[in-house]
């Protein structure tokens, strides 16, 4: 079925069309959810909630943009709402953190699965900002608006995320080098 027809059928609450839409987009959206979740199970929950919102709000989709982009935005917002409820964003006072730029060395030797695992181990507030800024290309202003924090907090959380990742990569390399010996 052509995407426009599929969307129209979903607007009419056609369960078969909803299943087809889910099958067509769930794997890409799940990859987006994984970037924001601390683990696989949470990512599944976010994905489920994302599709509930997609089907509720599909009438709001304007046919002039990318449907997949619209869905991805819902996935990000769904993840943000989930973590906003936990109040994880209010734990850092930006005045207490120096805005330090942390450079992460080349990660060519780190496989993608290990790197994603490291990102998932970040504290929630850092993981969210890191994923939005580095992986999805949002600006600090956009992140601040979406997460209801200041731009300074976004920047400091990103610096902290990078610092944590740098430390994890160093440990990962040490473990892999000692295992190779």
Token pair belonging to 22: 């889910």
The structure's pTM equals 0.70
The Cα–Cα gap between 83 and 47 comes to 14
Q: What is the pLDDT of residues 31-76, one digit of tens each?
A: 999 988 888 999 999 999 999 999 999 999 987 889 999 999 999 9
Q: 131 burial class (0-12, 13-18, 19+ CB within 10 angstroms)?
A: buried
Q: Return the pLDDT at 38.
A: 86
Select from 158, 104, 94 the least CA-distant residue to 127: 158
| Residue 96, pLDDT score | 43
Of 115, 114, 113, 153, the closest CA to residue 133 belongs to 153
Per-residue model confidence as pLDDT tens digits over 132-145: 998 889 999 999 99
In this prediction, residue 106 has a pLDDT band, given cuts at 50, 70 and 90, of low
Contact between 132 and 138 under an 8 Å Cβ cutoff? The reply is yes
What contacts 79, CB < 8 A, 6 or more positions away?
Answer: 33, 36, 37, 46, 128
Band of pLDDT at residue 108, cut at 50, 70 and 90: low
Domains along the chain with CATH numbers: 3-84 (1.10.1740.10), 90-180 (1.10.10.10)
- Sign (positive/negative) of CA torsion 114, 120, 126, 131? positive
Residue 86: pLDDT band by 50, 70, 90 thresholds? Answer: low
Contact 70, 61 (CB under 8 A): yes
pLDDT of 24 over the 80 cut: yes
Q: Among candidates 5, 21, 4, which has minimal Cα distance to 55? A: 21
Query: What are the tens digits of pLDDT across the range 143-175?
Result: 999 888 899 999 999 999 999 999 998 888 888
């Amino acid at each position: 079925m052509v995407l426009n027809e599929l969307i129209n059928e979903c607007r009419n609450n056609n369960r078969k069309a909803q299943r087809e839409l889910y099958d067509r987009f769930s794997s890409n959206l799940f990859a987006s959810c994984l970037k924001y979740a601390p683990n696989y199970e949470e990512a599944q929950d976010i994905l489920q909630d994302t599709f509930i919102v997609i089907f509720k709000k599909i009438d709001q989709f304007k046919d002039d943009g990318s449907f997949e982009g619209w869905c991805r935005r819902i996935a990000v917002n769904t993840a943000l709402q989930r973590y906003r409820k936990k109040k994880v964003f209010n734990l850092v006072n930006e005045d207490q953190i120096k805005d330090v730029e942390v450079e992460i060395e080349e990660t060519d030797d780190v496989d993608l699965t290990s790197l994603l695992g490291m990102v998932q181990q970040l504290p929630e507030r850092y993981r969210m900002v890191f994923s939005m800024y580095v992986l999805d290309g949002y600006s600090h202003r956009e992140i601040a608006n979406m997460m209801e924090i200041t731009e300074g907090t976004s920047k400091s959380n990103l610096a902290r995320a990078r610092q944590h990742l740098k430390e994890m990569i160093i440990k990962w390399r040490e473990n892999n080098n000692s295992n190779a010996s």
